[in-house]
Amino acid sequence: MRKWSAHSDDGARKGSTRSLLALCAATMLVAASARADDPGVCGPFDTGSDVEQAASCREPGVQLRAFPAGAPADPLAHLEAPPADAATAPLQVAGEALVAIPKDERGQLPEGLELVAGARIAASFFSPVLCATIARVAGPPEARPEDLVAALPEGAALVPHHQYVSAGARVRPFEPGTPGDPYREHQYALDVLEAERAWRVSDGAGATIALLDSAPATTHPDLDHIEMLALDAPEASGAPHRTSAEALHGTLLAGVLDATRGNGVGISGLAPGARVVALAVCHAGATGDADLCPLFDVLRGIDRAWQAGADVVNLSLVGPSDPLLERAVARLERLGRVVVAAAGNESSARPRYPAAYPSVVGVGAVDRSGARYTRSNTGLAVALYAPGVEILSTRPPAGYAFGDGTSLAAAHTSAALALLVGAGAEHGAARTALEASRVPIADTDRSGAPDGAGRMGSLCDALARVGRPCPSE
């Protein structure tokens, strides 16, 4: 496999033995209790199939004892965020941490969570994907994770509340010469991927894509069929999710995925027959340079995507390695879903997450000639490259723009997988077929050696690999 999961690459954890045990306890308990032929990433109560368990998990409730004011704290060692370039560094939400508490072997939530004075549970929800309660703990802005939690239940994990950033796109306005011009001719990616031929076999109908990003403009004439789902499921507790305004990044990706085909205006998405559900896990940052995506919301979005029946989950965001995020995307793969993530736009071979996790299809960007985008990341985070330069797509409120970036490449990949699933391929077979149909990219990597990942080839090649060949011309 092209990549491996190693926290020492990008998410090295420093601190005491107790810190490491607290972070890894849930995973260790799982490994100890799982069947020999089933690695098990859900918890020590993993007795049924993943699908059955995710459908049957119920929130048993949070039992909390506040740590007495003035009592001596016994904090966990500080969890350092991995180094990152200053311009694109994922932030931690100031004064917050996340606690994951899996149910015990009796199916109950263990007691023993103690908060220090001044800390509180701001919100919590039960995750059927993680099979654990996720609590967002808040305190003074300067507090570190270990400053907020005095004691954890056995098997629980404490992590910083990481804040991921959208793998942003450089955007240039697109102004048609005449109102009502069809813009299909500007979509070179559909030609490179042989979309028109592939649509004669599958246009994605029957497949569902979950777009976890900023909120797309569903009032756009090309996107009025996109379904917006609230992050708060009926059983969620805590403060309601903020209302998200229509945003550029999410709107660009929605157009690549599923802009309406043949409606006489604008463009066509690569999977125009697929169902797209959008979950606003990101919001505009203070500077406006990139959307910010708190881990708590990303995890809620993953659960809602599963509950909505998503076949493909698109995460065009980047940041540090995190044990909760790693476990969530790994379990989605075990549940028979495909997760796609952008590799990032830093011209770096340093792993970025979630793209670099083995369970995720990490995507870099190439231009119309098949050459790698100069800003695309490379290395372990990239399983394949896809069109991501000069991509014409939708922008709020009802316009169009050209964009560059691995976010757009990831969206093309998610749409391609939806075509394969819509053609009847199992999720794992769809991923295998897409990766097997890669062709060499037109340049070399930073070391001068050919980049082994390759770029997405003809969708007809991938369809043929799942037994659904395109008709002859």
Catalytic residue among 213, 222, 303, 451: 213
**Three-state SS for 72?**
coil
- Can you tell me the distance from the alpha carbon of 183 to that of 269, in angstroms, rounded to the nearest whole number? 12
% helix / strand / coil in the chain, to the nearest 5?
Answer: 25, 25, 50
- From 14, 11, 91, 41, select the one nearest 353 (Cα to Cα): 11
Pinpoint the alpha helices (H) of 153-279: 188-192, 195-199, 248-258
CA distances from 288 to 74, 168, 291, 315, 317 (A): 39, 11, 7, 19, 15
Catalytic residue among 316, 393, 407, 414: 407
Q: 127: part of which helix (H) or strand (E)? A: strand 120-127
β pairing state of 291-294 and 157-166: antiparallel
Dihedral class, residue 210 (left if φ above 0, else alpha if ψ from -120 to 50, else beta): beta
Beta-carbon neighbour count of residue 36 at 10 Å?
5
- From 336, 341, 311, select the one nearest 326 (Cα to Cα): 341
- From 108, 106, 98, select the one nearest 60 (Cα to Cα): 108
Instruction: Tell me how many helices (H) and strands (E) the chain has.
Output: 12, 21
- Can you tell me the distance from the alpha carbon of 133 to that of 167, in angstroms, rounded to the nearest whole number? 28
| Both structure tokens of 196 | 């028109």
β pairing state of 391-395 and 399-404: antiparallel
**Three-state SS for 258?**
helix
Does residue 213 have an active-site annotation? yes
Q: Quick one: DSSP state of residue 184?
A: G
Q: 89: part of which helix (H) or strand (E)? A: none
Given CA atoms 269, 270, 271, 277 in this order, what sign does their dihedral have?
A: negative
Does residue 407 have an active-site annotation? yes
Catalytic residue among 249, 283, 412, 427: 249
Question: What crossing angle do the helices spanning 323-334 and 295-307 adopt, rounded to 10°?
Answer: 10
Give strand ranges (E) for 225-306: 227-229, 237-238, 275-280, 283-284, 291-294
- Can you tell me the distance from the alpha carbon of 435 to that of 464, in angstroms, rounded to the nearest whole number? 13
- Active site residue ranges: 213, 249, 407
